[in-house]
């Protein structure tokens, strides 16, 4: 086990916080000008002094978040090398996996051969089977679901098979069994990136999701970063949905989260229990609560909440700690679309021992981050990516 320059790395994924459209955005049916951070800053002044001090405004001009003369860290942005603009694609690329083709989408719902097999496995029919917003389809079909006991199946612009059910109609254990059945059915050309349990409670007109969501991802190929860290005996503490995205592979301990605030608190707690290794956090509210609902004000407030948290994180850092802040894709709440957007993602890297004011420029892949983590901990290289470790020392 080699000791790298940084004994702990705190890697925080600000889910969907993109920083401008990639050149191929039109191939993904995005609206021209998608820019999650840029457009929010243009429409609603953002107070992000701590992110700005790390170099956020040095990555590219952002209204009200200008470049600082001496940013406290290294800054840049990452392109997505894989085809796609979803959670699984982005997170897989971070750990070294590049997709040859995107996960399949179902803009017209799932075909009879999928749904018939699903109905046979769960011994009942279903409702929906169409692309929809989760909150909207709950409002539309929730009452019928409560009357019939049939689960609500829906998808989105992402490669997902989502099953919504009222917790008092279909118990959690049964909903999870339905998801396992769907995951088993969705193979080959139907292999979606994730099957997602979407439990909710309440009465018609007042339905609300619970925090008992569960994701069933496709198993990632062997050799990705978390496999290599495990082989090198490097501890990994995950916070949020990281455990689900990677099916627990290579993860030593984990904490699920109920909100961004919960995720930020649990990230700090993880540092109290980790002497050496990786804390890998996903803060999902940007995407799930605000991006997909085109809630500009909510998104802006969530960004400011994360910014206010950074001093608490910085106060926990030891001399040989490193922080990496990035995202997995975009989800611009200012456009008409409620889908993800094909955007570059920000990259901010800092720590007491790390070099300051380093322009990491445009990285060719999110895998550069994973390769840097592997390089630092002396693990075997991951399949893709170029380490920038030497640039920050």
Instruction: Report pLDDT digits (tens) over 179-199.
Output: 999 999 999 999 999 999 999
pLDDT of residue 114: 98
Q: pLDDT band for position 1 (50/70/90)?
A: low
pLDDT of residue 133: 85
pLDDT of residue 169: 98
pLDDT of residue 144: 98
What are 79-119's pLDDT values in tens digits?
Answer: 999 999 999 999 999 999 999 999 999 999 999 999 999 99
What are 128-167's pLDDT values in tens digits?
Answer: 999 998 889 999 999 999 999 999 999 987 899 999 999 9
What are 215-266's pLDDT values in tens digits?
Answer: 999 999 999 999 999 999 999 999 999 999 999 999 999 999 999 999 999 9
261: how many CB neighbours lie within 10 A of its CB? 15
**Residue 66 above 90 pLDDT?**
no
**Residue 357 above 90 pLDDT?**
yes
Q: pLDDT band for position 4 (50/70/90)?
A: confident
Residues 260/301, Cβ–Cβ less than 8 Å? no
DSSP string for 264-320: HHHHHHHHHH-SSEEEEEEE-HIIIIIITTT-HHHHHHHHHHHHHHHHHHHHH--TT
Query: What CA–CA distance (Å, rounded) separates 47 from 120?
Result: 53
For 154, the token pair is 């829906």
Residues 387/366, Cβ–Cβ less than 8 Å? no
Average pLDDT over all residues of the chain? 96
DSSP for residue 329: S
CATH code of the domain occupying 112-217: 3.30.70.1250
pLDDT of residue 135: 87
What are 262-307's pLDDT values in tens digits?
Answer: 999 999 999 999 999 999 999 999 998 999 999 999 999 999 999 9
Task: Tell me whether the CATH fold assigned to 8-100+219-392 matches the one assigned to 112-217.
Answer: no
Residue-range domain boundaries for the chain: 8-100+219-392, 112-217
Fold for 8-100+219-392, please state it: Alkaline Phosphatase, subunit A (3.40.720)
pLDDT of residue 23: 97
26: how many CB neighbours lie within 10 A of its CB? 11
pLDDT of residue 157: 78
Nearest CA to 300 out of 19, 30, 39 is that of: 39
Query: pTM to 2 decimals?
Result: 0.92
- Summarize the confidence of residues 36-60 as an average pLDDT: 97
pLDDT of residue 256: 94
């Amino acid at each position: 086990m080699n000791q790298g320059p940084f004994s702990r790395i705190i890697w925080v994924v600000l889910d969907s916080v993109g920083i401008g459209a990639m050149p191929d955005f039109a191939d993904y049916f995005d609206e021209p000008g998608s820019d999650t951070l840029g457009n929010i800053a243009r429409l609603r002044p953002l107070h992000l002094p701590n992110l700005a001090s790390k170099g956020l405004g040095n990555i590219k001009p952002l209204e009200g978040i200008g470049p600082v003369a001496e940013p406290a860290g290294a800054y840049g942005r990452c392109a997505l090398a894989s085809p796609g603009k979803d959670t699984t694609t982005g997170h897989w690329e971070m750990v070294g996996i590049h997709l040859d083709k995107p996960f399949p989408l179902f803009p017209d719902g799932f075909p009879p051969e999928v749904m018939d097999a699903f109905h046979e496995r769960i011994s009942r029919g279903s409702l929906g089977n169409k692309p929809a917003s989760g909150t909207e389809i709950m409002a539309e079909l929730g009452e019928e679901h409560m009357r019939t006991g049939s689960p609500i199946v829906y998808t989105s612009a992402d490669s997902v098979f989502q099953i919504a059910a009222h917790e008092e109609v279909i118990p959690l254990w049964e909903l999870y069994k339905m998801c396992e059945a769907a995951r088993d059915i969705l193979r080959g050309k139907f292999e979606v990136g994730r099957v997602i349990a979407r439990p909710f409670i309440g009465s018609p007109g007042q339905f609300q999701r619970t925090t008992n969501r569960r994701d069933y991802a496709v198993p990632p190929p062997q050799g990705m970063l978390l496999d290599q860290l495990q082989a090198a005996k490097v501890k990994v503490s995950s916070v949020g949905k990281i455990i689900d995205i990677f099916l627990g592979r290579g993860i030593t301990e984990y904490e699920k989260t109920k909100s961004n605030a919960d995720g930020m608190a649990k990230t700090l707690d993880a540092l109290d229990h980790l002497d050496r290794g990786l804390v890998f956090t996903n803060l999902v509210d940007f995407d799930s609560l605000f991006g997909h609902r085109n809630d500009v004000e909510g998104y802006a407030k969530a960004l400011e909440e994360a910014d206010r948290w950074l001093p608490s994180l910085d106060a926990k850092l030891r001399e040989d700690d490193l922080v990496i802040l990035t995202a997995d894709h975009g989800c611009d709440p200012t456009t008409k679309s409620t889908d993800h957007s094909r955007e570059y993602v920000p990259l901010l890297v800092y720590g007491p021992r790390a070099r300051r004011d380093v322009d990491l420029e445009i990285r060719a892949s999110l895998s550069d981050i994973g390769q840097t983590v592997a390089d630092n901990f002396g693990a075997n290289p991951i399949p893709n990516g170029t380490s920038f470790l030497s640039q920050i020392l």
